[in-house]
Structure formats: C-alpha cells, structure tokens
Structure 1
Amino acid sequence: MKEVELTDPYTIPYRGIYVVCDEENKNAEIIEHTNCYSGAAWSRFHYARSPLIQQARAVGDMTRYLMSTGACDLSLQPSVAAAGIESVVVEGDEVSITYAGLGGGGVGATKCRAFAQGVLRYDVSESGGGKAAKGTIVVPRRERVLIGIDDTDTKEEGATWSMTHNIATALNCNESVYLSHSLVQLFPVSAKTQNCVSTVLEFGCVSKEAKEELLENLEAALLKYSVSDETGMVVLSSFEASKMEEYSTMCRSGELTKDIAMEHAQKNGVDVRLGGNGVIGALASLAWFARPDESVDLEAKL
C-alpha cells in the first residue's frame, strides 16, 4: 500500500498565465496553460459568461480568452455561473487580472492561478468550501510575434514542422514565451518536397529588445539546421493577422510566385528575414496562428 502525501491537496497551479495586448490596450488575450484540462474546461464554460469575454476556446492544453479590457460586475450563481473574470487592467508594462469564484471555482480563481509561471505577484482571499473568493494576479504585458517558416527540408531529409517546434521550445523563456505552433496546409505546388505544409510560430514578448533577441536567435538556428537553400522566414508583430487572410487564401487555392509573395509582404508590413522561395508558404501561414485543428485542412476557411 502506498501512502499519499500531499503538501496542498486543493491547489493545482497552472503551468503558466500570459497576457497579449493590442497596441491601444483595448483588447487582450489571456492564455492559460493548465495542468488539469478538466478543471480548465469547467472554468472556460463558466468564464465565457463574463461580460468582458469576447471568445473563449481551448487550443491543446491552453485556454485562450479574448477579452475587452476594463472591469465589470459579476453575478455569480452556483452551478450555472459559478466563476468569472471581473477585470483586466493594463498599467504600463503590467496587466492585472481579477478572478472570482464560488466554492471550488474560488480555489481556481485564487491559489491555482496565483502560483502559475509568469505571475509577478498576487493578492488572494480565502477559498474553498462554501466561500466566495477573489484573486488578483499581475503578469507582464506582452505583444504577439508571429513567425512564418517554410522550405527548410529537401526531398531527401528534414521536416519543417518538427524542426521549428524544437527550435521554438529551445528559445522559450519568460521574456519570449512560446504560445502556439500551427501546421498550415498549402496548395500542392510542383516545387513541394512532399506534403506542401508551412508552419507559423506564435510568441508573446515583453519588450522590443526581447523580440529582436528572439528573432536573431531563431534566424540563426534556422540557418544552422535547415537543409534547404530556399528557406523562408517572415515576421508579423501584430495582435491579429486578418490582413494576411486574402493572401493565405490565394496560396491555399493555387500556385503563386515569389514576386507576388514579396509584394504582399511589403504591403502588409511583414518583415522578411529569410527570403528564399519558402517565403511564399511562410507568408501564407501567418493568418492561421493558434488554429492548428483548422489549418491542416485545405478546405477550412478563415
């Protein structure tokens, strides 16, 4: 018989909580990396009713809340609306999030989130049992950095999706958090190695300096490990990527030239870091960040 010894039986700390903001701090995306998917699913169901939330969805073991910043009044009710996000306030380079919940939802709203990676400081009330509880955590304000990559392999060796994930994992740090990875199916052109798939990486960076260090290191790693002379790497620093949807649809519907790709990159403010023919597919991947279940389907629409 094995005796179970638990230091804190009622706390399951989140692996990480990160907040990406738009340039005007009017919208934010809270990204919670969970250690207990079912608990996160319960939260997502209840939090989706919070007035500030525009969209709540799961991407793997992360829950993503697209929100309006500000504060609201929550009307908590057992079983049907037992927890929520009360406020998201951006002040300088920090974001304060206040969660509230009843019973077990209060435990999640307080200690489970307070002890997550990425939290700078917290203020929580007592929770558990029949109590109503609140918890405020403070995390760094981040900006979204999207990196599209294609053509790192040849017909003899390599695979872009796996190499890019391994590089992103190696570069993941508190200043530049690796948030998502999507494989994007493209139109099967004649120059493809096999499956004609590009990759988009998503990071959340706390500063311009952190972003530039990330990009320099990622570019150097691609040059080191790519086995192709036509690697493409493009960067879009933006809260959302809707302006790339038209080009992506074109690239998933037919064969494009590099000249067309470069024209769209320039028009939409995309930084071309490596300009091989892979830039065609790399550019098309940007619009599909954090949508890995849809991006693999050539019939899926943006």
Structure 2
Amino acid sequence: MEDPYTVPYKGIYAICDEDGKKAEIIEHSNCYGGACWSLHHYAKSPAVTNARAVGECIRYSVKIGPSTLELKSSVAAAGIESVICDDSKNEVQITYMGIGGGGIGATKCRAYADGVLRYDISEAGGGKTATGKIFVPKRKRVLIAIDDTDSCDEGATWTLTHNIGKAVSCEDAVYLSQALVQLYPVPEKTQNCMSTVLEFGCTTDAAKEKLIADIKELLLKYSVSENTGMLVYSGFEITDDLKEYSHLGRTMRVSREKMLETAQKNHVDIILDGNGVIGAMAAFAWFAQPVESVKPEFDVNSI
C-alpha cells in the first residue's frame, strides 16, 4: 500500500447560489463508513445548515463566509470551518478542521480528491488537530429533465439518461445525480410512467451550453420515441411554481398549456418539445432526492 492512512475522495464540488450567500458542498466518497462519520460530525459545524447522504455522496448546505469552529474529541471531532467564494477566480475555498483521524479526513483525504485545483494542508494523524484548505471551481447547478425516450417494444428512459449523463460528464460540467420521478399514470404512458432529472455542476455558461447541446444530440441519436421531451432549468433552488407543477403531475393529468405556462414563468428552456415535456417538467422538483421521488403521490388504489 502506497499510503495506508489516506482514502482520497472521488470528487468534491461546490455549487453556489446567485447571491453569494449559500452553497452546497457535494463530496463523493471512496469510503462510505468514513463519509458517514464526517456527516455526523460536520453537521454540527456552524457553517452547515443541512447535511444528508445521497448514495455515496454527502451533501452539505452551507453559509458562505467565515465561522468559528470549536472541536471536541468524540463529540465534534471535525467540521467545516468556512466556505469562501472568490468570484474573480471563479473559485471556492473550503476550510476543514479535524482531530486525530478526523484530521486525516480534513487534509489529505480531501486534498487529493478529483475536482480540487490546489490545497494547503497541515500535518495530520495521531492526536494532532489539523487544518486543510482546498480550492475547487465555483459551479452553477444545471438540471436536465427528460421523459419519453422509449417505446412499448424497447428502451428505458432511466438507463438512457444515466448513460448519457456519464458520457457527457467532464471537469467543467460534472454529472452529480439522477432521480427517477413517479408520475400520475396517463393513457399515453409506455408502462410505469416515470420521468427523470439529471443534475450537473457547470463552471461557465459555455460549459452549460455545450452540455445541453451534447445531451440533445445523444437523445436524438438514441431515443426510440418521437415524443421525447427535454427541458433545462438553471438555479440553485427550485421555485414554488415548479414544486406545485410537480405535485400536479404526480397526482393528476396535466395539460400541455399548463406546462408551457410554467416553463415561461420559471425560465425553463424547452430543448426537445415532444409530449414528454409534460412529465419532464414534474421531475425538476425532485433532483437529488432519488429515494423519495420514486414514491407515488397518487392513490395507488385508484389506478
């Protein structure tokens, strides 16, 4: 073993809001047990407003700016001290602290992750208290909602969209999550009536535009349906209108007119305008919530 006391994260990414007040730190772990230990302790940091696990990823909602982090062995043994955005460099500086093994996690494990531009770390291990600063690109959240890529004879939207997400993922437009969304079953459904939302973190507007073009090209190439819908929403948080539309789409039949009205009011771009856009619009509200999104909202006994 080259370094038996280091388990580098697969990737660390920072999604920032438009006002420079909030961010989401997404850490893709290589050791789920260690990541869960971090989740437990980091959630107590003053900078962290919410923390949750989504598969192998731990997602921390944080306040941008400095904070005072007080560590205590076995109780609050590690945490996020600060998250600072540098708009001039389009970078985010994240400062971690930890005691003992938590110090290893705060320094080398995160410093060596994919997505880290550079780092400044202290000595760690044993009984030391360690500090690690990492610098990562500042990213904006881009959501791609897709529905109706299959037919009664072949295909599956969830597999195609995931494979497309992996195929187009790159340093400037990283694929972060997929959620499958259970819709209200309508007669036009192929079988299970599910739509999909993909989440990406883009570093620039140019990266976003290339991402959209690449996904559109692959959908046109591989979709076996003439009704494929593809929508794009860019924003740190989901609007109330999109949440309301999602509830409608998961409990009743929704008209195309309602979808068009919602798209216009919420700055949703229609990239492919097949009838799948009606179901696709209902998927945005469930990004990065794959456990909850598959559960029906409609009365299953009424179907």
Q: Which residue identity does 1:222 align to in structure 2?
A: L
How far 1:225 moved relative to its partner? 0.4
Which residue is 2:170 aligned to?
173
Which residue is 2:60 aligned to?
65
- Residue 16 in structure 1 maps to residue 11 in structure 2: yes
Which residue is 1:259 aligned to?
257
User: What does residue range 47-196 of structure 1 map to in structure 2 within 5 Å?
Assistant: 47-92=42-87, 93-196=90-193
Q: Distance in 2 between matches of 1:225 and 1:125?
A: 49
In the TM superposition, what whole-angstrom CA distance separates every residue of 1:199-258 from its partner, at most 9, and x where no partner exists?
000000000000000000000100100000110000000001133100000010101111
2:274 to 267, 273, 276: 276
Q: Which residue identity does 2:264 align to in structure 1?
A: Q
Q: Which residue identity does 1:234 align to in structure 2?
A: L
Q: Which residue identity does 2:235 align to in structure 1?
A: S
Contact map agreement 2:139 2:204 (CA 8 A) in 1: yes
- Residue 210 in structure 1 maps to residue 207 in structure 2: yes
Q: Distance in 1 between matches of 2:47 and 2:117?
A: 23
Q: Distance in 2 between matches of 1:252 and 1:266?
A: 21
Which residue is 1:3 aligned to?
none
Q: Distance in 2 between matches of 1:108 and 1:94?
A: 21
User: What does residue range 32-51 of structure 1 map to in structure 2 within 5 Å?
Assistant: 32-51=27-46
Contact map agreement 2:251 2:297 (CA 8 A) in 1: no
How far 1:262 moved relative to its partner? 1.1
In percent, how many aligned pairs have the same letter?
60
Q: Distance in 1 between matches of 2:235 and 2:265?
A: 15
Q: Which residue identity does 1:275 align to in structure 2?
A: D
Q: Distance in 1 between matches of 2:239 and 2:210?
A: 26
| TM-score (ref. length: structure 1) | 0.97
How far 1:299 moved relative to its partner? 3.0
Q: Distance in 1 between matches of 2:154 and 2:104?
A: 49
| TM-score (ref. length: structure 2) | 0.96
How far 1:139 moved relative to its partner? 0.2
SS in 2 for 1:201: strand
SS in 1 for 2:171: coil
User: What does residue range 234-245 of structure 1 map to in structure 2 within 5 Å?
Assistant: 234-243=231-240, 244-245=242-243
Q: Distance in 1 between matches of 2:11 and 2:132?
A: 16
2:283 to 274, 282, 285: 285
SS in 2 for 1:228: coil
Say what the alpha-carbon RMSD is for the aligned residues: 0.8
SS in 2 for 1:70: coil
Q: Distance in 1 between matches of 2:264 and 2:221?
A: 27
Which residue is 2:295 aligned to?
297
Contact map agreement 2:183 2:194 (CA 8 A) in 1: yes
Q: Which residue identity does 1:139 align to in structure 2?
A: V
Q: Which residue identity does 1:83 align to in structure 2?
A: A
How far 1:260 moved relative to its partner? 1.4
Q: Distance in 2 between matches of 1:167 and 1:103?
A: 41
Contact map agreement 2:239 2:266 (CA 8 A) in 1: no
Q: Which residue identity does 1:69 align to in structure 2?
A: I
Contact map agreement 2:149 2:157 (CA 8 A) in 1: yes
Please list every run of 5 or more consecutive structure 2 residues that lacks an aligned counterpart in the other structure.
299-303
Q: Distance in 1 between matches of 2:110 and 2:259?
A: 43
Q: Distance in 1 between matches of 2:212 and 2:27?
A: 24
Please list every run of 5 or more consecutive structure 1 residues that lacks an aligned counterpart in the other structure.
1-5
SS in 2 for 1:281: helix
SS in 2 for 1:86: strand
SS in 1 for 2:292: helix
